[in-house]
Every structure is written in structure tokens, then in C-alpha cells.
Chains A and B, each alone.
Chain A
Amino acid sequence: EPEVTQTPSHQVTQMGQEVILRCVPISNHLYFYWYRQILGQKVEFLVSFYNNEISEKSEIFDDQFSVERPDGSNFTLKIRSTKLEDSAMYFCASSGEGGRNYGYTFGSGTRLTVV
């Protein structure tokens, strides 16, 4: 069964450092998303990406965050200057029809720890 692959599974970084979280979505999917889940809290939407541009972003997704699809297969989330409160699980997701009929396929996540 096709899956969304995320790397690394766990990243520890110092406050103020830049991190890049990587995702390989399902190959024939066109819609890509990042969500995050702070420990013990809800899964929260960050950003959606379609046709090589951001289609929607949440209030959380401020100027410190950026996304890119550099080569047609990878989808990355960059946090420019990490803060302690960025510590969370970050999930990449993709879908073929904007989630219709088959839902969204999530990756296993990257646990980001900012120290």
C-alpha cells in the first residue's frame, strides 16, 4: 500500500537554529499538507500546498515557516529560527482529490524537540 514517508523520525535542535523536515508524498497525489501535534493536544493544520503554491495557511504558519517542493517528489517544511514552543510532532499528508473519497494519507511524523 502506498505511504507517505517522513524523515527524520526524530530531530533535536537548539533554539534559534533552522530545521528542515522532509516528506515524500504518495507519487500520484496532488495536494500536500503539514500538520503538527503538540504533546497531548489536537492535531493542528499548518499549511496546504497545491500546484506548486500555498493554497492555505493557518495563523500558526508565520514568517518563520516555509514549504517547498524542490524536485517533484519531496515536500519540505522549513522552520527558520526554532523556538521552544515549536517542539511537536510534525505530520506530512497528501491526497489525490483534496481529501475526497479516500481521505488524506498521513506520514508517521517527525518528532521535533527544541532545546
Chain B
Amino acid sequence: EDQVTQSPEALRLQEGESSSLNCSYTVSGLRGLFWYRQDPGKGPEFLFTLYSAGEEKEKERLKATLTKKESFLHITAPKPEDSATYLCAVQAPRNTDKLIFGTGTRLQVFP
């Protein structure tokens, strides 16, 4: 069964303290891995799509990487406005566009 597991569940960082969030997946034939940011009471906001092992993408303080078993979201020198839940999702294989989400990592960045 296709599965996505994110760790840690929650992460508290001091402003400027870099860290990484993990997303491990079990999918037979990954078509795409997505990272989203979700603020309380809001919908997921698209950050990145990764398609193949070794691929990396960056946006401001965020950098996403992908291996054959997992993806990391690296946060460099975070700011309080980076506080949110970060969701990982995989696109299931074989003629389907549905996303399978993990439970997310709740990030809090303190000044």
C-alpha cells in the first residue's frame, strides 16, 4: 500500500536555527513528490514538485531534495513567518493524479 510518513511531528526552532524535515515514502513507481505549506485554517499552499532521485529545488530559505526512499525539506536560517505545517504528498502511479498526503510536520520558529 502506498504510504507517506513525515517526521518529526512537531519541531520548535529558534530564529536562525537551520534544520530539516523528513518525508519517507513507499510508492510503487513515484510520479511526483510535492511539498506544501499549510497555515491554520487554510488550504495547502504549493511549494515544490520533485520527480526523480537527485533532484533539488529551492525557494528563499527552503530547499527540497529527493532520494529513492525519502525527501528532505531543509530550512536555512528560519524566521517566525516560516511557522506552519509542512505537508508532503506523493502522486500515485498508473493513470491517477490523486495525492497521498503525510500527516505533516508542525514547525514553530521563535524570535
**Which residues of A are at the interface with B, using a C-beta cutoff of 8 A?**
4, 6, 31, 33, 35, 41-45, 48, 55-56, 58, 91, 93, 95, 98-109, 111
Residue of A44, A100, A106 near B43 (CB, 8 A) is: A106
A98 vs B48: C-alpha distance when bound (angstroms):
15
| A-contact bits for B88-111, CB 8 A (1 contact / 0 none) | 010100001111111110000000
Kindly identify which residue among B46, B103, B104 contacts A104, using a CB–CB cutoff of 8 Å. B46
Give the distance to chain A from B58, nearest Cβ to Cβ, in Å: 16
Q: Determine whether the beta carbon of A99 is less than 8 Å from that of B91.
A: yes
Complex: how many Å from CA A82 to CA B36?
29
- CB-defined contacts of A91 to chain B, threshold 8 Å: 43-44
Instruction: Say whether chain B's binding surface is mostly helix, strand, loop, or mixed.
Output: strand
| Bound-complex Cα distance A100 to B104 (A) | 22
| Chain B interface residues toward A at CB < 8 A | 32, 34, 36, 41-46, 48-49, 87, 89, 91, 96-104
Tell me which residues across on chain B come within 8 A of A93, comparing CB atoms: 43
Q: Which residues of A contact B97 (CB under 8 A)?
A: 31, 33, 48, 55-56, 95, 98-99
Q: Is the CB of A42 within 8 A of B49?
A: no
Task: Pick from B34, B98, B104: contact of A48, CB below 8 A.
Answer: B98
Collect the chain B residues with CB atoms within 8 Å of residue A56's CB.
96-98
Partner of B49, one of A41, A55, A103, A107: A103
Shortest beta-carbon distance from B87 to chain A in Å: 7
A6 to B44 CA separation, bound complex (whole angstroms):
13
